[in-house]
Structure 1
Amino acid sequence: MAPGARGTRRRVTHSLEAVVETAVALLDEAGEPALTFRALAARLGGGVGSIYWYVSNKDELLDRATDHVVAGMLSDTEDLAADGDPIDNTRGIAIAVFTAIEKRPWLAAYFMRNTTIQSNALLLYERIGEQVMRLGLPPRECFHAVSAILGYVIGVAADLGQDPPQEVLDGTVAAETYLHGVADNWRALDPERFPFMHYIVDEFDGHRDIDQFRAGLELLLEGLRLQAEG
């Protein structure tokens, strides 16, 4: 052993990119509760203290992990034609955001929470806003339109991205069978008290979540187009 080496520990070096990518992997595997500095350090190799070289706390880590994922959304939508139809372009961005959050439900809670750290989230907001701005709406209507679109996309994606019931997760019941069961429960409701449920139950039975999302998005976009043309 070299002189002076006894009792010393070499700091394990990573990189901010490696820390953030590993944090995203932990979040994808088991959600926010799984992301601890201890688990992150164990995955990277080294002590918990090494993580503090790159982020000051868990909130910052979550914001950076979110921004890392949003960078992928920017990449997926960078080829939208600048002179293309703004409604079509807004639809493309909305679907990219929905797809990413549906796969990663943890993302919804931290999206645009801290735009100082989340520079990519701010750029994504700008990208949607520039498309809406091309419709010629005044500032207030542009702001409300972008807020409504993002609120709808993030909310629905987070809802649909939740884990299904345990019996579906463990394979005891097929997802389609579970949905049929819910529909049958609705059919058993008193039609005088629940006329709407009876009216739409056949549409609910066997519906696809992505179709439901797209239908709601089209209602928003069509309203936006009518507002711009009015």
Structure 2
Amino acid sequence: MAEQRTESAGRPRQPRTRTRASHSLESVLAGAVEILDESGAQGLTIRALAARLGGGVASVYWYVSGREELLDLAADSVLGGIFDQIADVGSDDPIDDLRAIAMAMFDTIVDRPWLGAYVLRDTGLQVHSLQLYERIGEEVMRLGLTPRQVFHATSAVVGFVIGTAADLGQEPPAAVVSGEVTREEYLARIAGEWRALDATAYPFINHIVGEFERHNDRDQFAAGLDLLLAGLRLQSESAR
């Protein structure tokens, strides 16, 4: 992709037209995010975006070299909104600050099933992604760990947030999407199937089935995050 951008940069820009004047990079990215939210990554094409914006494809190519760059920039524009959510984050406890940043990041990604695949995909292009990674890393640095420990801890936090948000943010089953059943009815159906399993063969499933049936995805993420951060706090304390 970097090679494509280099070639694009080497070509002379076409004369400005009225079509280009009707757009801006912000409007191009906003339109791309709208399509991504509605149809996912498979629904975003340069032609579809141009049609939504009311211009030709050349008006989109003024701002991006192609679809892949458009996807990276659209994702990065969404991630930029996280900084508004964490503007007031800054306490004496880096673990508390890490938790606040991670929760804001999770909330942003989980509502957009397409987004997880494009976070930190191209840090040379995605300024907000890189800044977010830097911000999390700076909080971890406050724990007094070695560079290797800081790298591993930051990677663990970022990976847990993105991976869990992408997993929990998957499109619901078709029956839930169509309205045939509610989420609660769907979970109750699965829970019923689990309860019918042999408790000797599936002791864990039988043990947690009640929690599964009434669980909240955000609470589930927060619980896992707290376990990760508790381990990080112990590591920090042992390093002193």
TM-score by length of 1: 0.93
Q: Secondary structure at the match of 1:105?
A: coil
Residue of structure 2 in register with 1:211 after alignment: 219
Matched, 1:103 2:116: no
Matched letter for residue 86 of structure 1: P
Using the TM superposition, give the Cα deviation of residue 10 of structure 1 relative to its aligned residue in structure 2, in angstroms.
Answer: 4.9
Question: Which of 59, 65, 81 in structure 2 is aligned with 1:50?
Answer: 59
Which is greater in Rg? 1
Matched letter for residue 106 of structure 1: W
Distance 1:70 1:181 in 2: 36
What pairs up with 1:123-202 in 2 under 5 angstroms? 123-202=131-210
1:187-211 CA-partner distances (Å, limit 9, x unpaired):
1112221111111111112111111
Count, aligned residues: 221
Q: 1:217 to 1:46 in 2, by over 3 A?
A: same
TM-score by length of 2: 0.89
Using the TM superposition, give the Cα deviation of residue 78 of structure 1 relative to its aligned residue in structure 2, in angstroms.
Answer: 2.2
Q: Secondary structure at the match of 1:56?
A: coil
1:82-106 CA-partner distances (Å, limit 9, x unpaired):
x431000000000011000011111
Matched letter for residue 88 of structure 2: D
Distance 2:128 2:173 in 1: 34
Question: Which of 52, 56, 60 in structure 1 is aligned with 2:69?
Answer: 60
CA contact (8 A) 1:20 1:65 kept: yes
What pairs up with 1:1-150 in 2 under 5 angstroms? 10-13=17-20, 14-81=23-90, 83-150=91-158
CA contact (8 A) 2:113 2:171 kept: no
CA contact (8 A) 1:11 1:50 kept: no
State the identity %: 58
Distance 1:87 1:56 in 2: 40
Residue of structure 1 in register with 2:4 after alignment: none
In structure 1, the gaps of 5 or more residues are 1-8
Residue of structure 2 in register with 1:5 after alignment: none
CA RMSD across the alignment: 1.3
